[in-house]
Structure 1
Amino acid sequence: MDKAPMNEDVFDRTEYRKTNRQLRLVKRELSQDAVAALAREAVRRLAFKMPRAVKKEDLPSPADIDELCAALLSKSDDAADNFILAARRDGVEVDAIYLGYVAGAARRLGEMWDDDAISFIDVTLACGKLYRVIRGLRHVIAPSILAERDEWPAMFALVPGETHTLGIEIATEIFRREGWDVDMMVGLDHDMLVDQSDRRNYRAIVLVANSDDRLEALARLVLAIRISHPLANLVVAGNILDHHPDILGLVGADATIKDIKTAVSTLRHLIEDP
């Protein structure tokens, strides 16, 4: 992979700011247990990105990881951003940034949390900063993550815990009659659903939730899929929209499908006019 310094223009400032607003909203609107679950999800998904094809000499040293964690845990809101961007400008490969620095910092944060070396507040703030950075770098890291996946128009998935399948079945049938080749996922738990979504490079992923008590599960699912699908358009559908008018900002999705009549045009617009 090209080791040329990264131009500042490739950093997605819009997505960065959107993610920052989402994290503030999450801490205000969701329970402490829900926020902790999101932090653990971020740590687990980011830490799982283990180095594979990265050259050993390009990986960060323990001292580098310590410095990044210190930046993440500091009171400075942009210290970690500056650290990552400086590393990339210095020529550190994208794979090393993501699989080395980000994953390494996530693992270290997880260990510190388990050892009670840092508090719940510390780790949620640090994980938020780390997640915000990778969202800003989504266009840079996407080729490495999505390599060798075949491109697919869309996946429709029922949020774990939901039992009402009729709506998603009707929507899937309508799209297929319109000529869309879409995958439908129902009855899967969180990890199974994320694993299934990892099999293809979906242009759009529609997450269907009806019950108000599925909000936390939806937020956790969106975060996990964001990490494995940096460029996918994430869409929320179902009766949960009636309960949360601010759901896009809260869970970090891109759009909503409010009814069957506008579903096809909404998704086509997202896919064809990113």
Structure 2
Amino acid sequence: MAKAPLNESAFDSAEYKRAEKQFRLVEKDLPEDALIAVAREVVRRLAFRMPRNAQKAGFPTKAEIERLCDALLSSDNRAADRVILEARQDGAAVEQIYLGYVAAAARRLGDLWDADKITFVDVTLACGKLFRIIRGLRHVIAPSIIENRAEHPAMFALVPGETHTLGIEIATDIFRRNGWDIDMMIGMDHETILDKAELRNYRAIVLVANSDVLIARLTRLVLALRISHPLAMIVVAGNILDHHPDIETLVGADDVIKDIEGAVERLKDVVELPAN
């Protein structure tokens, strides 16, 4: 089989390391129920990127998926990386890596968890490994995820549970008057935001939260959006920044906007940053 060696254009080592650091912080700072919700979110979002009964030529065998799951659940922190990189180097196409290996492994982990054959701690560690792999390969897998989506500048959304709407309404109005075509999502639950977000390919996504109690919901939403929008710049805004100076690392955001003054120019800077 033809070789397809990985190089810097195919593997984003900086984003891989960011994802790894984020999951370590999430495991440390979030309470157990929030951590369980995050793990289930990653498993579900990755697992259903391909129909459960899909059959495609060249996709990994059951034995290969078991090998990947064993690697994800092992104490060797880089074992799963080697399985994926070997498959890629052996010429596995993007669809095989993402829809085959990653999605199938996520489904298998979910089944094992539901059957109480592994603990949520096992799943959380495995999810962190899977998540950093897809972040490292984000440029490779992005075209298959955002295919046929219309390009759109930005989405502003209130984190589910946030009730203070004035700030996001003012910000949206300011951006629109500056020529930005902004989608604003207010009063929507987690699933609705994600369903609507998947209709477009956003260059920037701004998530607004004011209450400190929303940190777990914000983290879960960012992780889900990272899977559905691998190349979007995700920015956090709102008073929650006052309570969490390390919020970018904890939730996995690219940047923060601390106030409305100068926000337009700041977001322009964020969107125009190089992808790496």
Alignment root-mean-square deviation, CA:
1.3
1:8 aligns with 2:4: no
1:6 & 1:103 partners in 2: Cα distance?
22
Gaps of 5+ in 2: none
Deviations 1:10-37 (A, max 9, x none): 2110001011111111111110111111
Against the structure 1 CA distance between its residues 51 and 95, is the aligned structure 2 distance closer, same or farther, given a 3 Å change threshold? farther
Match of residue 20 from structure 2: 20
Against the structure 1 CA distance between its residues 169 and 4, is the aligned structure 2 distance closer, same or farther, given a 3 Å change threshold? farther
Match of residue 228 from structure 1: 228
Matched position secondary structure for 2:128: helix
Q: Contact between 2:6 and 2:88, CA under 8 Å: does it hold in 1?
A: no
Match of residue 205 from structure 2: 205
2:123 & 2:55 partners in 1: Cα distance?
29
2:262 & 2:31 partners in 1: Cα distance?
33
Matched position secondary structure for 1:230: coil
TM-aligned CA deviation for residue 120 of structure 1: 1.6
Deviations 1:200-243 (A, max 9, x none): 00000000001110100000000000000000000000000001
Structure 2 counterparts to residues 228-247 of structure 1, below 5 A: 228-247=228-247
Structure 2 counterparts to residues 47-126 of structure 1, below 5 A: 47-50=47-50, 56-126=56-126
Matched position secondary structure for 2:75: coil
Against the structure 1 CA distance between its residues 140 and 4, is the aligned structure 2 distance closer, same or farther, given a 3 Å change threshold? farther
TM-aligned CA deviation for residue 121 of structure 1: 1.2
TM-aligned CA deviation for residue 4 of structure 1: 5.8
TM-score (norm 1): 0.96
Letter in 2 for 1:163: T
Deviations 1:149-193 (A, max 9, x none): 111110000000011111000000000000111110001100000
Moved over 6 A (4+): none
1:33 aligns with 2:33: yes
2:22 & 2:50 partners in 1: Cα distance?
27
Against the structure 1 CA distance between its residues 94 and 51, is the aligned structure 2 distance closer, same or farther, given a 3 Å change threshold? farther
Deviations 1:34-71 (A, max 9, x none): 1111000000000010159x972211111111000000
Q: Contact between 1:51 and 1:100, CA under 8 Å: does it hold in 2?
A: no
TM-aligned CA deviation for residue 6 of structure 1: 3.9
Matched position secondary structure for 1:121: helix
Match of residue 253 from structure 2: 253
Query: Which one has the bigger helix percentage?
Result: 1
Gaps of 5+ in 1: none
Match of residue 270 from structure 1: 270
Q: Contact between 1:157 and 1:207, CA under 8 Å: does it hold in 2?
A: yes
Match of residue 147 from structure 1: 147
Q: Contact between 1:5 and 1:88, CA under 8 Å: does it hold in 2?
A: yes
Q: Contact between 2:94 and 2:140, CA under 8 Å: does it hold in 1?
A: yes
Letter in 2 for 1:68: L
Matched position secondary structure for 1:57: coil
Match of residue 194 from structure 1: 194
TM-aligned CA deviation for residue 119 of structure 1: 1.2
2:151 & 2:19 partners in 1: Cα distance?
25
Letter in 2 for 1:165: T
Percent identity, please: 64
1:58 & 1:175 partners in 2: Cα distance?
47
